[in-house]
Amino acid sequence: MAVYTDITEMELGAFLRGYAIGDLLSYKGIAEGTENSNFILHTSGGSFILTLYEKRVEKNDLPFFLGLMEHLARQGISCPLPVHRRDGEIIGELAGRPAAIITFLEGMWPRRPSAAHCREVGKVLAAMHLAGADFQLSRPNALSLPGWHRLWEGCVDRADEVEPGLRAEVSADFASLEAAWPADLPAGVIHADLFPDNVFFLGNDLSGVIDFYFACNDFLAYDVATCLNAWCFERDHAFNLTKGTAFLAGYQSVRPLTPTEIEALPLLCHGSALRFMLTRLYDWLNGPGGALVNKRDPLEYVRKMRFHRQIGSASEYGAVMP
């Protein structure tokens, strides 16, 4: 559930006079996103999303995130288009916070993704990787190995509270991942958080990709690994080979993976699972409200780490050498 800064209709009316999107008809805070406050706006010009950026988002990163959305939308990717203010800017200020308005995308995120959904996600991920190639800004991945270390330092002493033995298990993973992490895979702009709640469908047709607030520059295949983790496991924690095959075939139909990328997938999947385990573990142990309030279970990702550790080759994910 979103952080929720309330705003008055007077403040919002004044803010909207900076835009040419018509008269305000209604606005309602929505229960989506975990980092920011989001509102659906209805104006005489249509529906929009208003986002207030809360303190967990670095203000200096906003031109990257919003500029990327605009860049991708203009290249034909179905993602929100930031609305320009009358002064030409795409970032304003509302209720003391940086704020932006983006177009509203119809569609529903799939609570139970099918193989057909996975194939479409593979295609759009590859299309985003290609379309991002000529984006001018760059942003290092704050959640690659050094970032994981910082998270782990905030959790390590209490990791065994979550599961006995977790401290030793994760420490060993750090050693093996650091020794083997690739140095020279194809890199570019990645979404870095393409979970099902960030992809909208109308039926089986993908209608939009949202939430670019973790986007950064890193190995393209690392984004592929994150999607395998996010889309291709069942609720019983089993990997679904049909979905993995569909996702990778969709991706490769738009951008074939190199043999080196395919070989690196087990390691990248393992590392990506560690990354999401660490943010969940950190929030679990350090977030507000103790362990009671609506938090995601780090153990789901511990299970995925164990799965990837025993993978022999990327063919077990459904990958086919090009």
Q: Is 183 in the site for its own copies (CB under 8 A)?
A: no
Q: Is 289 in the site for its own copies (CB under 8 A)?
A: yes
Task: Give the whole-angstrom CA distance, residue 19 versus residue 83.
Answer: 8
Q: Is 8 in the site for its own copies (CB under 8 A)?
A: yes
Q: Is 25 in the site for its own copies (CB under 8 A)?
A: yes
Shortest CB 155 distance to its own copies, Å: 23
Please state the separation of Cα 119 from the chain's center in Å.
18
Contact pick of 19, 22, 42, 300 for its own copies (by CB under 8 A): 42
Contact pick of 27, 174, 195, 282 for its own copies (by CB under 8 A): 27
DSSP states along 160-176 = HHHSTTHHHHHHHHHHH
Within 13 Å of residue 17, how many CA atoms lie on the same side as its CB?
A: 5
Q: 3-class DSSP state for residue 143?
A: coil
Q: Is 28 in the site for its own copies (CB under 8 A)?
A: yes
Shortest CB 252 distance to its own copies, Å: 28
The partner residues of 233 in beta bridges, in order of sequence, read: 239
Tell me if 102 sits within 8 A of 48, measured CB to CB: yes
User: How many residues belong to the site for its own copies (CB under 8 A)?
Assistant: 35
Contacts for 10 with CB less than 8 Å, ≥ 6 apart: none
Contact pick of 55, 88, 106, 179 for its own copies (by CB under 8 A): 106
DSSP states along 184-206 = -S-EEEE-S---GGGEEEETTEE
Burial class (CB in 10 A: 0-12, 13-18, 19+), 179: exposed
Q: Is 6 in the site for its own copies (CB under 8 A)?
A: yes
Contacts for 165 with CB less than 8 Å, ≥ 6 apart: none
Contact pick of 136, 292, 310, 312 for its own copies (by CB under 8 A): 292
Which span (77-85, 155-163, 198-206, 248-256) binds its own copies, by CB under 8 A? 198-206
Q: Is 165 in the site for its own copies (CB under 8 A)?
A: no
**How many Cβ atoms are within 10 Å of 18's Cβ, its own excluded?**
16
Shortest CB 298 distance to its own copies, Å: 21
Contact pick of 14, 17, 20, 26 for its own copies (by CB under 8 A): 26
Shortest CB 49 distance to its own copies, Å: 9
Nearer to its own copies, 26 or 313 (CB): 26
Residues in the site for its own copies, rule: CB under 8 A?
1-2, 4, 6, 8-10, 12, 24-32, 40, 42, 47, 104-112, 200-202, 289, 292-293
